[in-house]
Amino acid sequence: MANNPSQLLPSELIDRCIGSKIWVIMKGDKELVGTLKGFDVYVNMVLEDVTEYSSLVDECEITAEGRRITKLDQILLNGNNIAILVPGGSPDPE
Amino acid sequence: MSGVEKGSTTTKTPADFLKSIRGRPVVVKLNSGVDYRVLKKQCGAFCLIFAGILACLDGYMNIAMEQTEEYVNGQLKNKYGDAFIRGNNVLYISTSKRTLAEGA
Amino acid sequence: MATEEESAVKEPLDLIRLSLDERIYVKLRSDRELRGKLHAYDQHLNMILGDVEEVVTTVEIDDETYEEIVRTTKRTVPFLFVRGDGVILVSPPLRTA
C-alpha cells in the first residue's frame, strides 16, 4: 500500500461516494443507479432509491408489463457480479 | 476506514442492513445468469424473484424465508412455507414497503 | 443443549438441519427439481437424498409455428448425491403453510 503510485485507493474512491448517487454496471445486462449508503470488503453495497435497468427487452418486472426499469427503496446488492462503478453517473439522464 | 466517521450519520454497511431487515418482508432477486438456461420467455430474458418474510441470513447471503412466494417473470408460480435460498444466486435483497400486487 | 435451542432457526442452515429425515423440495439450476428424503447435508449444501423424484423442464421452440413446447421429464432415483453449487432453493415439508 505504501508504494501505491496513485493518490487514491479504489476503496477510498467508493468510500467518497457514500451519501451520493452511484451507477453500478453488473456483469451481464444489468445496471443500477442509487444512493450509496455503505459497502463492505466484498463491495456488497447498501443502496437507496434504486432504479434497476435491464437492457434485455423481456426482463421481467414485478409491476407493469413491458417496462424495463424497477424502482426499489433499499437494497443490499451482492458484490459478486459488479463490474464497474461510476460515481454520480446514470445510464438514463431523465 | 477514514471516510466512515465523516459520513457515520448516514452510513449503513451491509452488516447494518442485514441486522435491520430480520423479520421484515423482503424481496430477493436472483442472478439470471446465462448458465441458468431456465424457462425462457419469447426473446429470452428471465427473472426469478422470491418475496417473503426474512427469517434469518448468514455471511454467504444464504437466506431463510417464511411465507415465500416465487415469481417467474413477474408471475406467481409457487409458494413455500419455509425456504432456504443459497446465497451465491442472490443478486440483491430489497426491503419491500409495497407488496408485489400493488406494484411500484 | 435444550430442545428449544435445537429447534430454533438462528441461521439459514438450521432450516436444512430441521429437515433431516424429512422429504424436501430442491430447486436446481437448469430447470431441475428434486423431491426426496434428506439423509445428509454439509455447509456447501451438498446433499444426500433418498427416494428421489427428479423433474426436468425443457422448453423447445417449434421450428414452424415458433410456439413454445414445454416438456417435463420425470424419473425416480433411489439414492443420490447433489452437489451444492447447483442448488437455488430448498424448501422443507410445509410446516407453516
Test B45 with A56 for CB contact under 8 angstroms: yes
Q: State whether residue A41 sits within 8 Å of chain B by CB.
A: no
| Dist. CA B13–CA C38, nearest whole Å | 36
Query: How does pLDDT run along chain B (104 residues), one tens digit per residue?
Result: 444 444 445 788 898 888 888 889 999 999 875 444 444 444 445 788 999 999 998 888 999 999 999 998 888 888 998 999 999 899 999 987 654 444 43
Q: State whether residue B18 sits within 8 Å of chain A by CB.
A: yes
- Contacts with B44 (C-beta within 8 Å, 6 or more apart), sequence order: A56, A58
Pick from B20, B19, B47: nearest CA to B33 = B47
Structural domain contains residue A4: no
What domains appear along chain B, each with residue ranges and CATH number?
A: 24-33+45-95 (2.30.30.100)
If one counts the domains in chain A, the total is 1
Do residues B73 and A58 lie in contact, with contact meaning Cβ atoms separated by under 8 Å?
yes
Whether the pLDDT of residue C26 is over 90: the answer is yes
Which range of residues forms the domain containing residue C76?
Answer: 12-86
Nine cell digits for residue C32 = 431441475
Which range of residues forms the domain containing residue A20?
Answer: 13-87
- Window B:22-61, CB contacts with A under 8 Å: 27, 31-34, 41-47, 49, 61
Structural domain contains residue A43: yes
Test A38 with B1 for CB contact under 8 angstroms: no
Min mean pLDDT across A60-64, A86-90, C31-35, C52-56 is at A60-64
Test B81 with C92 for CB contact under 8 angstroms: yes
